[in-house]
Amino acid sequence: MSTTYQTTDPTPSTEPSSSEPSATEAEETAALAARYLDILNSSAIAILTSIGHRAGLFETLATLPPASSEQIADAADLNERYVREWLGGMSAAGIVVYDPARQTYHFPRSHAAVLTSAAGPENLAQLMQYIPMLGGVETRVLESLRHGGGLDYSEYPGFQHTMAQESATVNDAVLVDGILPLVPGLPGRLAAGIDVLDVGCGSGHAINLMARAHPNSHFVGYDFSSEGVAAARAEAAAWGLANTRFEVVDVAGIAEQGHFDLVTAFDAIHDQAHPAQVLGNVRSALREDGVFLMVDIKASSNVEDNAALPWGSYLYTISMFHCMSVSLGLGGDGLGTVWGTQLAERMLGEAGFTDVEIVDVPADPFNAYFVARP
């Protein structure tokens, strides 16, 4: 025989259980689920856009009238079956317009203005390349997340080429006539002839552009990537430039003393293992009347400020998967997105730059331009 003891009121409660979500919570859950489905789809579109850019499909489509997948594949010299699947994804995304009656695909001119070379610095297709590229190091980043440490530049095949491609579209459009004039009197000094150093020069395209425009000045590029320096030298030779020199150098160890009238750094300082040390070296390399032109990430050092950026989450992702990780891999500070305009300005001051101006360049919404003088 068993006895049941009742210790609670058996009357059913009309109040919702604490374990049951409220109506507001249920709405928020549904909204987040819908958002993540949209994110999943958008991520797929980003990968399709990346491969379309790399395969030249957007450039090909921009030259064609409405065409079949066979015609598009032939024009692009690509495999038709893969082109057809890609076109299906782009049609589902609304990037390419499909006519089911004629079984043709059309790429509107308004879309080409965003996704082809006609867009110039505003070509968003080339930016999509970073999504699959960063995904390629996810397992390595996961290891670092668990155990600390970082990654090496060698683990990012093609990254430097993609960055060079991205920066080249900006520099080709506005470097000589739009960016250099940010420094009052600089174009005239370059025309007369001065000494210029670019730290973290990568493939050297910016230097070569400046050297071609100002043959009386002398330009030196430092980068620790032998691949980048080789590309810089090759381009300089192809252009017949006699006023450039490129060296494989770790800019954290340069010991130049007052040798240059202008030092430039194009999106390179925040990636350094020890940015403060590099900025101190830049100050030492400048002559007393010299100027430092630094192009670097346009973001805030404060998390709450970056939430307002349309690409805020992207900045943190590329920092975690590249900028921060490679710095930590070099035994560095790993500043990543912590490096924002506030910290950059403070570190410039600590390096000995007492006059710092921050300027926006409309053609380059992702970067801030710092004009700094001793």
pLDDT digits (tens, 9 = 90+) for 249-259: 988 888 788 89
| Helices of type H across the chain | 23-55, 57-61, 69-76, 80-92, 109-115, 130-135, 138-147, 159-174, 186-192, 205-213, 226-238, 275-285, 303-306, 312-318, 324-329, 341-350
Please check whether residue 48 is in contact with residue 131, taking contact to mean a CB–CB distance below 8 angstroms. no
pLDDT digits (tens, 9 = 90+) for 192-219: 999 999 999 999 999 999 999 999 999 9
The conformational region for residue 350 under phi > 0 = left, psi -120 to 50 = alpha, else beta, is alpha
- Point out which residues pair with 244 in neighbouring strands: 219
Please check whether residue 273 is in contact with residue 327, taking contact to mean a CB–CB distance below 8 angstroms. yes
Contacting residues for 195 by C-beta, under 8 A, at least 6 apart: 217, 218, 220, 259, 260, 261, 262
- The overall average pLDDT reported for the chain is 91
3-state secondary structure of 268: coil
pLDDT digits (tens, 9 = 90+) for 218-248: 999 999 889 889 999 999 999 999 999 999 9
184, two tokens: 């009052």
Tally of CB atoms within 10 A around 59: 17
Amino acid 340: pLDDT: 87
- Phi first, then psi: what are they for 307, rounded to 5°? -60, -25
Tally of CB atoms within 10 A around 128: 21
Please check whether residue 327 is in contact with residue 336, taking contact to mean a CB–CB distance below 8 angstroms. yes
Kindly list the structural domains of the chain, giving each domain's residue range(s) and its CATH number in brackets, ordered by start.
Answer: 23-119 (1.10.10.10), 136-373 (3.40.50.150)
pTM confidence score = 0.84
Report CA torsion sign: 343, 347, 353, 359.
negative
Mean pLDDT, 10 residues at a time, the chain of 374 residues: 40 55 92 96 97 98 98 98 98 98 97 95 93 95 96 86 86 95 96 97 96 98 92 97 96 86 94 92 95 94 89 92 92 85 94 95 91 96
Closest Cα to residue 310, out of 359, 360, 367, 366?
366
